[in-house]
Structure 1
Amino acid sequence: MILVTGGTGLIGSHLLFQLLNKSKRLRACYRSKDSINNVLAVFGYYSDNASSLLKKIEWVEADITDIVSLQEAFKDVEYVYHCAAKISFDPKDYPALVKNNIEGTANIVNLCIEHHVKKLCYVSSIAAVGHSINGGKVDENNEWSNTNVSVYGLTKHEAELEVWRGSQEGLPAVIVNPGVVLGPGFWNTGSGTFFKYASKGKKSYIPGGTGFVSINDVINAMIQLMESKVEKERFILVNQNLSYETLLKKIAPKLGVVSPTKKISFLALEIFWRIDWLRSNLLGKRRRLSKNMAKGLYKREVYSSEKIKKAIDFSFEDLDNAIDFCCTKFLER
């Protein structure tokens, strides 16, 4: 039996689909029954039998911050993919991020040890990887620093430490650190917002850039790592390092709109994060741009995925094809 936490999210739902194609026995956690509709929608992008596939999954209502609900989920489980996490870059959400990302991961690790799970795959993020040195590429060996790190990155780093703690206690485990994951189905959050933003024909784009990877590459890497003898290792998953300008110029024509041409200045960003801070404190609104996020745009990190390529002879798919697929599904939504 395989357990997938965060099964109703972007990575979790695609992972479930691929594991079903391998005829695996699956159990997945959910917190709201309505969220299972997200999985049905994702399955529908790839299959005409989405409903019948969904019925093959054993769904368990469980919260990773609640040990009692998780106990039932872990019954007879041999392998665990821990995809569940809270994603927010708003400093006000730090306590919730700690509870979900750090304490929740500690619960998963402890239950894996208690139930003698054969292997754990933890989905972290490039936000939890150290900064580059002298402008070089970032890899798995870069030293961690708290400087200009988002609250999300801080908690994902601490969550990784819980996984390493578990590995020291005898739990076979691997960690993946994906870049921005491009995949269909969640257009109002995460990478989906790039497609939504581009579809409006916006004229401006933010400076900087980051590492991008397709959802298929993330899922394939996770499954291959779990089926390999590799353990006690972490792997950056980045196919291409792109500027946000380049990404939007790839997306916009596929959506039938004009690409943005005006770069938002760093001065404008400095003004905006201060106004955003004031707006949040006076009106209680969610932050859209924190100080650390704005500062992070000044320096563009370039990520290396050479380790995953060598470890399991992994090959990334054509990212342009993945972007085209997302654009097609966005227009069909």
Structure 2
Amino acid sequence: MSRTDTLRSELARLVKNEADAQQEVAKHARDANKHAADASKKIQAASKTKSPMSRASYIRQAESSAAKAAASEKKVAAAKKHLADLAKANAAKQKSLDNAEKSERAALARQTSKDRRAEESHIRRMASLRNGMAALPAPKPEPLRVLYLTTNPEMLSGGALRTDAEVRNVQNELRGTRYRDSVVVRHLPAATFEDMLNGMNDIRPHVVHFSGHGGGSGILFDNGSVALPAGVGIDYSQLTRFLSATDEPPRLLVLNACDTLDGADELLSAVPVVVAMSDKITDTAAVVFATKFYSAIASAQSVGSALNQARAVLSVLASAEDHLPECVCREDVDVDNLVLVTPD
């Protein structure tokens, strides 16, 4: 049973309990009114009778009915409190159900998009085999150049990221790979958007990697200030213009930042392959992802296999964030055959 099915079942039970509680309030209220009316009748009868014995009997009966009315009023109050608690629990459960349904819809949309891309990739593969040509020209036998941009403008305001540890781990991992001499990493810390443009001019990277803060609308670069560090937001349309403003656009863009998958489709007009995160990602998972992804790339694995290797390692973490890295590519690109490092 899915989480939404469980929540719907629990919500239905709460709704029934709430209806039962409303009936209970009504029952005790009727009982209280009946006993109060009985007490009033007995008091009137006692005031009319001339017999002392009858008057005493009526008064005793009135007191008994009044006590029963008071007891029923207490039950009404208790039942109303129980009803209020159920209403509160009902509202909280409905909110949980709404959130769960929203998450399921988002997951279904991501899976549908993923299935569509897989189907398109299969079609391209079949067409490539029929045409006897590769989906993407093989890279020239030259070192893979990676422009590694890291930003941490919120390090003094509680939003610090361990991008320094990420770069260190990636570089250490690359030293142990088989084709380490075939990968050149140019790291630009506290990167501004001007640094990105200058880096693309200087080394003409095959891969542009960004690690920092991201969101649904864009990513956060550094302002370059030493005294007053702050973030500079660049939306995906602006990022697309930067990446397109070169004679040799990168083959791959990696956005190792939270909620960056939203901009992937727009960025495909500048780069053929985009790897991005579909939701928030923890510091630990971001470091592990980058380390294992580039280790596989430097071992002459395809981009598709490198992504799968990184996901496999992420699945072992306690946070199990292997569902976050997603790959989006142009229709004429097959990431399972796209190898960026050519073995000697």
Both proteins in one fold, TM over 0.5: no
TM-score w.r.t. the length of structure 1 is 0.32
Greater relative contact order (Cα < 8 A, sep 6+): 1
TM-score w.r.t. the length of structure 2 is 0.31
